Amino acid sequence: MIIAFPTQEDKGLESLVYGHFGSAHQFVIVDSEKGTFEVLLNDDREHQQGLCQPLNALGGRRVDAVVVGGIGGGALSKLNSAGVMAYRAVEASIAENLKLIKAGFLPIFTLDQTCAGHGAGGGCVH
């Protein structure tokens, strides 16, 4: 499985999973079967709230899943429409989240769990 993890710093598999998909500085793309990874800069980092283009953020790279602490409803819908599952990360490293996803312990994000913004009246599950 090819999995994208948003991060703020490149520490390989020891990078902490970032809490916001759209504003992450970069993504660590992991091939869980081969045990390899690469780092991609977020090509859609500068966008207005609610206008995230998740496939552009991933540089057009095809992934099977993303693992993130928080994600907006629009981004989640666009990912799901492209056949990409989104899993809710625990606040830990990529390596720890990989263990949990392989064991089937990370929940799949649903629209009622997405970020509604961070201003007045907004809310997130993370």
**pLDDT on residue 52:** 60
Least confident among 15-24, 32-41, 46-55, 75-84: 46-55
| 61 close to 41: Cβ distance less than 8 angstroms | no
Domain encompassing residue 85: 2-113
As given in the structure block, the two tokens for residue 28 are 């660590």
Q: Is residue 67 part of a domain?
A: yes
Q: Is residue 120 part of a domain?
A: no
| 52 close to 24: Cβ distance less than 8 angstroms | no
The pTM score is 0.85
Q: Is residue 36 part of a domain?
A: yes
Q: What pLDDT, in 10s, does the model give residues 47-106?
A: 455 556 677 788 888 999 999 998 888 889 889 999 999 999 999 999 999 999 999 999
Q: Is residue 92 part of a domain?
A: yes
CATH of the domain at 34: 3.30.420.130
| 98 close to 90: Cβ distance less than 8 angstroms | no
Q: Which of 3, 49, 43, 14 is nearest to 26 (CA)?
A: 43
Q: Is residue 44 part of a domain?
A: yes
Q: How far apart are CA 17 and CA 50, in angstroms?
A: 21
Q: Is residue 34 part of a domain?
A: yes
Domain count, the chain: 1
